[in-house]
Amino acid sequence: ILNVEQSPQSLHVQEGDSTNFTCSFPSSNFYALHWYRWETAKSPEALFVMTLNGDEKKKGRISATLNTKEGYSYLYIKGSQPEDSATYLCAFPSYDKVIFGPGTSLSVIP
């Protein structure tokens, strides 16, 4: 059974702090890793699709890195803002299905 893990489960940071969290996935048969942001009462929104070992993607204050050999990806948020409060999900496509991690719930306190 393939397992995708995320840590921490939840995080509370002050506005302006930088933060990061981790997604761990099986390192064999890697195809891609997806990061999603899921705000309350909205659809999960795709942030990044990462495919290459050593990949680094950036969107505004959010960036992500990928290590396929050891099976992890980091998501970084620089200078957190209240609007960054959401659950961040990583997803691992495996052959013909997509397996989600449990998510990291981020709360940014003004």
Partner 1 sequence: EAGVAQSPRYKIIEKRQSVAFWCNPISGHATLYWYQQILGQGPKLLIQFQNNGVVDDSQLPKDRFSAERLKGVDSTLKIQPAKLEDSAVYLCASSLNRGDTEAFFGQGTRLTVV
Catalog residues that contact partner 1 under the rule CB under 8 A.
4, 6, 9, 31-32, 34, 36, 41-46, 49, 89, 91, 93-103
Tell me how far, at minimum, the Cβ of 59 lies from partner 1, in Å.
14
Amino acid at 17: D
Tell me how far, at minimum, the Cβ of 96 lies from partner 1, in Å.
4
**How far apart, in whole angstroms, are the C-alpha atoms of residue 51 and residue 44?**
20
Tell me how far, at minimum, the Cβ of 6 lies from partner 1, in Å.
8
CB-nearer residue toward partner 1: 78 or 100? 100
- Bin 47: left if φ > 0, else alpha if -120 < ψ < 50, else beta: alpha
CB-nearer residue toward partner 1: 29 or 83? 29
CB-nearer residue toward partner 1: 16 or 102? 102
Tell me how far, at minimum, the Cβ of 16 lies from partner 1, in Å.
27
CB-nearer residue toward partner 1: 71 or 101? 101
- Comparing C-alpha atoms, which of 69, 63, 76 is closest to residue 22? 76
The DSSP letter of residue 61 is: T
64 token code pair = 């992500």
Does the bond joining 8 to the residue before it have cis omega, within 30 degrees of 0?
A: yes
